[in-house]
A and B are shown apart, each in its own frame.
Chain A
Amino acid sequence: GQQLNQSPQSMFIQEGEDVSMNCTSSSIFNTWLWYKQDPGEGPVLLIALYKAGELTSNGRLTAQFGITRKDSFLNISASIPSDVGIYFCAGYETDSWGKLQFGAGTQVVVTP
């Protein structure tokens, strides 16, 4: 099936730095979702995007729905230790309701 390409696979950053990650697909998506997963827990929804070009913030997190509708970006500003975790992009292809597709995740490690 369709694969979402999420990059980078992992990031080691210092506290206070900004983090950027992105997700691309080969087909058009009508919804992009960004989740964070802590060890031993289920993914938690951070941001949902519904329109091409949409830019949405949730605290220090900002995500964008790409203009081409084939990509999305997540930025974390001024990282703190609790930002550690795995961030997943997910989305729905057009006419593929109910079948949410996930990227492989970006592991973020924040060092003091």
Chain B
Amino acid sequence: NAGVTQTPKFRILKIGQSMTLQCTQDMNHNYMYWYRQDPGMGLKLIYYSVGAGITDKGEVPNGYNVSRSTTEDFPLRLELAAPSQTSVYFCATGQGNEQFFGPGTRLTVL
């Protein structure tokens, strides 16, 4: 039971490049979330999903897209990377009020 897994762990992008951050969970939770964490700050919600086929914007969705075709997977897409998207990205799952986090992806945009 791996919980929440994220790939890659680290990535460096050039401005304007695109990439997909992968998130997979084996906890059979309906709810999944993407957060970003900037230095010295708490986590901010980018997008979330209450089940397969359903997604909604969080606090900071601009520049990102998500999809949820299965219960297990919730990829986060950056289409045109910008330096402001340099951050650590965390995926989380939840059932009820509690959320459980993956190990994170550290992304640098140069």
Pairwise interchain contact B44-A42, C-beta atoms closer than 8 A = no
The SS class assigned to the B binding surface is strand
* Cα of A90 to Cα of B97 in the assembled complex, Å: 11
- In the assembled complex, the CB of B55 is this many whole angstroms from the nearest CB of chain A, namely 11
The 8 A CB mask of B11-51 against A (1 = contact, 0 = none) is: 00000000000000000000101000000111111001010
Those of A87-110 within 8 Å (CB) of chain B = 88, 90, 92, 98-105
Pairwise interchain contact A43-B98, C-beta atoms closer than 8 A = no
Query: What residues of A have a CB within 8 angstroms of the CB of B40 in the complex?
Result: 104-105
* Cα of A45 to Cα of B97 in the assembled complex, Å: 11
> Number of residues in B with C-beta < 8 Å to the partner?
24
CB contact between B90 and one of A42, A45, A101 (< 8 Å): that residue = A42
Query: What residues of A have a CB within 8 angstroms of the CB of B98 in the complex?
Result: 33, 45, 48
CB contact between A42 and one of B31, B45, B102 (< 8 Å): that residue = B102
- In the assembled complex, the CB of B62 is this many whole angstroms from the nearest CB of chain A, namely 14
Given A33-B98, A102-B43, 16 new contacts (CB under 8 A): A4-B42, A33-B97, A41-B104, A42-B92, A42-B101, A42-B103, A43-B90, A43-B101, A50-B97, A88-B43, A98-B31, A98-B33, A99-B45, A99-B48, A103-B42, A105-B42
A residues whose Cβ falls under 8 Å from a Cβ of B: 1, 4, 6, 31, 33, 35, 40-45, 48, 50, 88, 90, 92, 98-105
